[in-house]
Amino acid sequence: RHPESDDIWNIYLESIETAEKELFQRTAANNRLYIAEKTGSSLSDQFDHLVCFIGGSLALGSTIMDDDNELKQKHFNYGKEFTETCASIYESTPTGLAPEIVYFSRTDTNNDFDIHARDKHNLLRPETVESIFYLWRITHDNKYRNWGYKIFLSFREYTRMDNTNPKYPNGGYGSINDVTVKTKDEITFRGDKMESFFLAETLKYLYL
């Protein structure tokens, strides 16, 4: 770590400490770690897919801590847990893809989260596979490669715009409206476009 970045590093550590105290929560069903949202004194269990970068960030940050720093293992373990939480969202749906938003529960002992009808879409986002990439590079545990490969296969199966779908014959990959459908025939797309970050980030992390 460069001395000129110490101020930024300290701000990062302070923000994680605050988040741990105020926002880190666990589900009642399977003890999944997640980050809640807070407005004033009100806590919401809404969890956007965008938050799934945090697992990789915590794991990566731990690698530049001194071995005698008590935060090193703590942050690394948090990174693993957050990444596992995000991967479990993918594993929970029939398509193997995550919705844009889930709502975790601290009281439901049967289900970690609910998916609301308005949030069932998938926008090809990279955050989960980014965290999986960092965990693979840090640990070389093959389970992370397996998680990434399963997600890749789901993207290829359910988001590909090709001649198997006469409405979108020109190729590419598109955002889909509902990750909870049971068959590929039920897939509908959110317009005839592919997000640039799917190539620049999502597929990059899956390749690496």
Query: What whole-number distance in Å separates Cα of residue 84 and Cα of residue 132?
Result: 9
- Annotated active-site residue 84? The verdict is no
List the beta strands (DSSP E) in the chain.
24-26, 33-35, 37-39, 42-44, 46-48, 101-104, 113-114
The token duo for 175 is 């955002």
Give the pairing of strands 101-104 and 113-114: antiparallel
How far is Cα 144 from Cα 84, in angstroms, rounded to an integer? 9
**Residue 173 and residue 201: Cα distance in Å, rounded?**
14
For Cα atoms 177, 134, 127, give the angle at the middle one, nearest 5 degrees: 20
Amino acid, single-letter form, for residue 97:
L
Angle between helices 142-158 and 70-91 (to 10 degrees): 30
For residue 119, count other CB atoms closer than 10 A to its CB: 16
Q: Find the catalytic residue in 20, 70, 91, 100.
A: 100
Q: Which residues are catalytic?
A: 100
